[in-house]
Structure 1
Amino acid sequence: MTANTSEKPTSLAEKISTTALVCVVTSVLIQATSSLKDAVWVASVGLVIYWGLEARRTGNIGKIILATACALTVAAISTLPQPLTVISHALAESSFVIGLFISLGLLREAADSSPLIQACGESIVKQPPRRRYLALTFGSHAIAIILNFGVMPLLGVMINKGNTLVAADNDPDLKAARQKSMMMAIFRGFALMTAWSPLSIVFAIAQSILLEVPWWQLMGLQFVITMVLILFGALLDTRHRPQSEALDQPETGTSSPLMWLALLIGAIVCVSILIAELLGARMVIGAMLTIPLSAWGWLIVQESHKGIDAPIAASKRLATRVSKSFPGSRNEVALIGGSMYTGIVGASMLPSDLVGDFLSSVGIPPVVLAIGMAWAMMILAQIGISQIITLAFFAGSIQVLAEMGLNPLVTVSGLMTAWALSICTTPVGAGVNIVSRLSDVPVQTIIREWNSMYVLGGALIVGVWMVLISFML
């Protein structure tokens, strides 16, 4: 989440926005874990209120998405026989995704001020040159599970401090090559986290499409292809590594902080799984219940020097940060929630049998069609069409391909991995723009020169992967 941590007093609009998002999260959880199914209406109203209050201060892309959502709503009311059913369903799904996004983001509120995260970042950056790319990629990968986009500023600033002209023997070309290598390592590590992590938005949306598929089966497949793509990135880095790799501090890193971080992430995931199993709910519901308590507990540890007052101090810190970060998440809420809403409403306006008739009539093997869908998602992301919108439009196609004999896991695995890869090259993505700012290079340089070979190669790997698992499943 994008947090606004300034000390100016919270305005009335910000207080209402914060309350609205709290209502979204709590209502989604109530709806998912109880028989009070009407709670989804409270979540939907809360989301609409938030959009209305924060639309004026939302970025241009968010405004375009919200405007498109409004236009589609009017079109749906004018053309669909039961528009309220479609609109309410779209709002319910959007509320769920935003509830998950906000819940997961609470962990960052504690992680931002944690000495453990700072120590992990320093340990990763100080690894020896020959294993630095993999150390940065895996380290960024692990920290991103908790910090999400926040991992890139954290490690990026440390990279900039260590990658000086003096450390590069006054060779500006060597300094630039190291900057590219290390920035791409943390960027790709973050992006590929979204391909498999059960705590990611991508995983939650994919599982909501495949309710009948066990989460562990999907996660297992995604973990394998993620490791393949990480190693592919390391191979490309080795081919383009500068000949001179001696830094002023080559081996001062320690793995101890990373071990503690791994234990923390593992504990959160295990508790999430346990709660989900006890409730008979999806794994993401377990995460939504676990993470707010984990964030609060993490802050209690940070405030432990205050003794018995630590829980109170932690509660105050969390409340203060939430009152700033919730309104500050307006761009993400508009992009994620608005894209989900737009995709569902837009897809509902297409003839129900149009996609099925087309896919059935083209005479192309279903796995090839699925690969084409994955590649289409990557191409559309390059012109600013959100992956959520694409996935919502393709949701019906997954069932059609299943009826043609293709295991749904093949299609969903390809789409999830394509989503992760497209993060590296979409010009409107937050990740690309963060790396551009940290590296002081144009966005187009990152897309065309730094990542084009990786994403194109990754797209081919995804195609081969989908063919392989189509025979295995």
Structure 2
Amino acid sequence: MTADRPQRFSEMISAGGFGPRAAASLCMLLMLPGADARALFGWDAGAVVAAAFLCGYLILCWRHLLPVVRVLLLVCVGLVAFTLFRDGGIGTLVRAMGPTTLLPAFLAMLALLRAAAGASRTTFLAGRLLVNQPPARRYASLTLGGHIFGILLNIGGLALLIDMTRRANTLEAGNGDPAIVELRQRRMTLAVMRGFACVALWSPLGLAINLLLAATPQVAWIDVAPWGIAATVGFALLGLLFDHLESPRASRPFVRAPDPEGGRALLWMLAHIVALSCLTMIVETFTHLPFQAILINVVPIYAFCWLLAIGRENGGVSPPRFAARVLRNDGVARWPDYANEIGIFSASGLLGILLADLAPRELIEHAFASTALPPGAILGVLASAVIVLGFIGINPMISASILATVMARLELPGLPLTAVVLALAGGWACIVGAGPMVSTLVIVANAIGRSPAEVGLRWNGRFTLAASLIWVAILLLLPL
């Protein structure tokens, strides 16, 4: 097995081998029932068993983890050891196992949806349509594309669309002018990245909303979604304004061949998002089950049904066998590829509970009461904290998770938790395209051969500053 082309899980099994990647995938597979049992029925024993398999997964993937993720996990180990020696420490650890295993389980299920979307020709056709738009519409179309691909494919959708824009941005497409090529690259990159960032504000399949709702179980997704969608529209319009102010007019007419297939494909991708969102909302409304528990069970079923439809269209292998093969080869076998994201999610869930338990609740409540800060000011401080910490290298997954967990345990009059979730999600959306250590920016910068500082600060810095100031101002003026 070579480092640049990891052998698939199915190939390992068929070849009689069982390496670390296959073992890691097996650990994740064995983790899921326990995490699901804890999410659906509140069985703490299920979470403890799931946590054991999650530890096995992270140990097997250890050498592939980024240094910052390793440090974060070692901090978790130290904090767990410290908690064990405190009164009631075992109970605290058992309680922390739920969030610690729930979010990695969700990310694993989301990988199955990504496998289904990647197997669909619809994804390629929709991406081609978005990239091949005239200059006047290209920014808006790629912002929409970054949002749609980000919802269905998460970070993989961002990488896919960025790669498509890079391939389309040739010297010939730029009329032989390197300056135009440079401008096109900047515009298309920012459009995709800003559209992707808005996923944090509302998407039921987004990592941000799921992390924040797991930290604040009192809040339902349907309470957050309408306001998050409105904020998404505002962020998108601000991006359009900046693109208009910063980009010159096109120097030559653009002729684009009709692409009816691309239009239908884009509508189908939108339909998938609407269907998943509505299905999640309906199940949450009628069952009152936890939001992440619904997603853990709905997403793999939806992915399997999507692949059945693709299999029927393609012919050849029977649809069930086709669906099972794609989920196995492009889903389960690739779970080790998400070790860094799963490591951060695990650490965020654990640190959120343990640090919130260590935080002096009465002292914090007294501090807020003595300063007499209005609710809007508290929300502004929370959003600003996520943004500032993101700039100095602390991933919003960590800062937002800890802040949300702490705020969920406080009793502050006039401060609804729904507003707390929105404030933190907005701070996350602001910093995700500018924080030098945020994975989104690092992936984008590497894909186009630029430094994160150039893309995040020189290209996107003014927009990030304006969006941050506007978001904090809106929070300050909220009539709470």
Q: Is the 8 A contact 1:23 1:42 kept in 2?
A: no
Please point out which of 305, 328, 351 is paired with 1:297. 305
Aligned with 1:416 (options 416, 425, 441): 425
Task: Give the match for residue 41 of structure 1.
Answer: 48
2:284 to 276, 279, 291: 276
Residue of structure 2 aligned with 1:234, choices 240, 250, 275: 240
1:321 aligns to 2:327 (yes or no)? no
Show the 5 A alignment for 1:323-342. Answer: 323-342=332-351
Q: Which residue of 2 is the match for residue 98 of structure 1?
A: 104
Deviation at 1:286, TM superposition (A): 2.3
Instruction: Work out the percentage of aligned pairs sharing the same amino acid.
Output: 24
1:66 is aligned to 73
1:178 is matched with which residue? 184
Contact 2:351 2:402 in 1 (8 A): no
Match of 1:188 among 172, 175, 194: 194
8 A contact 1:269–1:287 mirrored in 2: no
Cα deviation for residue 297 of structure 1 reads 2.0
**AA paired with 1:266?**
V
CA–CA separation in structure 2 for the residues paired with 1:209 and 1:67 = 22
Deviates more, 1:223-232 or 1:240-249: 240-249
The Cα shift of 1:129 comes to: 1.2
- 2:175 is matched with 169
Cα-to-partner distance string for 1:302-350 (whole Å, 9 max, x where unaligned): 3224467220232123112234211222111112212322233233223
Deviations 1:14-38 (A, max 9, x none): 3332122123322222233346553
Q: CA deviation at 1:246?
A: 3.4
Which amino acid letter does the alignment assign opposite residue 64 of structure 1?
V
Query: 1:206 Cα shift?
Result: 2.2
Identify the range of structure 1 (312-321 vs 241-250) with the bigger mean alpha-carbon deviation: 241-250
Provide the residue aligned with 2:401 in structure 1. 392
**Residues 38 and 98 in structure 2, CA contact (< 8 A), matched pair in contact too:** no
Match for 1:444 among 453, 471, 477? Answer: 453
Q: Which residue of 2 aligns with 1:144?
A: 150
Alpha-carbon distance in structure 1 between the residues aligned to 2:299 and 2:458: 38
- On the 8 A contact 1:66/1:334 being kept in 2, the answer is yes
Question: Which stretch of the first structure deviates more once superposed, 7-16 or 145-154?
Answer: 7-16
Aligned residue pairs, count = 468
Greater Cα shift, 147-156 or 448-457: 147-156
CA offset at residue 399 of structure 1?
4.8
Q: What amino acid is the match of 1:314?
A: A
Which of residues 160, 165, 171 is equivalent to 2:166? 160
> Tell me, which stretches of 5 or more residues in structure 1 are unaligned?
none
Structure 1 counterpart of 2:295, from 274, 287, 290: 287
2:51–2:101: 8 Å Cα contact kept in structure 1?
Answer: yes
Question: Do 2:44 and 2:94's aligned partners in 1 also have CA atoms closer than 8 Å?
Answer: no
Mapped contact 1:141–1:193 kept (Cα < 8 A): yes
Correspondence for 2:227 = 221
Write out per-residue CA displacement over residues 408-442 of structure 1, whole angstroms, 9 at most, x where no aligned residue: 22222111111122111121222111211222211
| 1:303 aligned counterpart, secondary structure | helix
CA 1:344–1:193: 2 relative to 1, 3 Å = same
Residue 64 of structure 2: aligned partner: 57
CA contact (8 A) 1:343 1:388 kept: no
1:7 equivalent in structure 2: 7
Cα distance, 1:138 vs structure 2 = 0.9
Q: Does structure 1 conserve the Cα–Cα contact (< 8 Å) formed by 2:404 and 2:421?
A: no
**Please, which moves more after superposition, 273-282 or 137-146?**
273-282
Measured in 2, the distance between the counterparts of 1:164 and 1:15 equals: 40
Matched, 1:407 2:419: no
* Deviations 1:243-265, CA, capped at 9 Å, x for gaps: 33536544645422111111122
Between the aligned partners of 1:35 and 1:71, the Cα distance in structure 2 is 27
CA deviation after TM superposition for structure 1 residue 77, in Å: 2.9
Tell me which of 186, 201, 206 is aligned to 2:207.
201
Deviates more, 1:320-329 or 1:271-280: 271-280
For 1:347, the equivalent position in structure 2 comes to 356
Moved more, 164-173 or 143-152: 164-173
Separation in structure 2 between the aligned mates of residue 343 and residue 37 of structure 1, nearest angstrom: 18
- Seen in structure 2, the aligned counterparts of structure 1 residues 351 and 111 have a Cα distance that, compared at 3 Å, is same
1:128 is aligned to 134
Q: Equivalents in 2 of 1:135, 1:215: separation in Å?
A: 27
| Equivalence for 1:262 | 270
Matches of 2:29 and 2:286, distance apart in 1: 24
Q: How does 1:355-366 map to 2 (within 5 A)?
A: 355-366=364-375
Following TM superposition, by how much is the alpha carbon of 1:282 offset from its aligned partner in structure 2, in angstroms? 2.9
The answer as to 2:24 corresponding to 1:17 is yes
SS in 2 for 1:329: helix
Q: CA deviation at 1:115?
A: 0.5
How far apart are the structure 2 equivalents of 1:197 and 1:130? 27
Distance in 2 (alpha carbons) for counterparts of 1:37 and 1:315? 31
- Are the equivalent residues in 2 in contact too, given 1:366–1:401 (CA < 8 A)? no
Give the TM-score, by structure 2 length: 0.91
In 1, are the aligned partners of 2:112 and 2:332 still within 8 Å (CA)? no
Q: Which moved more, 1:232-241 or 1:306-315?
A: 306-315
User: Quick one: which of 364, 368, 389 aligns to 2:377?
Assistant: 368
Whole-angstrom distance in 2 between the partners of 1:400 and 1:291: 30
Amino acid at match of 1:33: L
Residue type of the alignment partner of 1:320: N
Deviation (angstroms), 1:214: 3.7
Q: Kindly provide the CA deviation profile for residues 58-98 of structure 1, in whole angstroms up to 9, marking residues without a partner as x.
A: 221211111111122223234x2222122222222110111
CA RMSD of superposed structures (Å): 2.3
Supply the distance in 1 between the matched residues of 2:259 and 2:243 (Cα, whole angstroms). Answer: 21
Give deviations 1:175-218, integer Å, cap 9, x for gaps.
Answer: 11111011000011111112110111211222234433342221
d(CA) in 2 for partners of 1:396, 1:94: 13
Q: Is the 8 A contact 2:140 2:191 kept in 1?
A: yes
Shift of 1:239: 0.4
Query: Which letter does structure 1 place at the counterpart of 2:300?
Result: P
Cα gap change, 1:437/1:219 in structure 2, threshold over 3 Å: closer, same or farther? Answer: same
Deviation of 1:444 after TM superposition, in Å, equals: 0.6
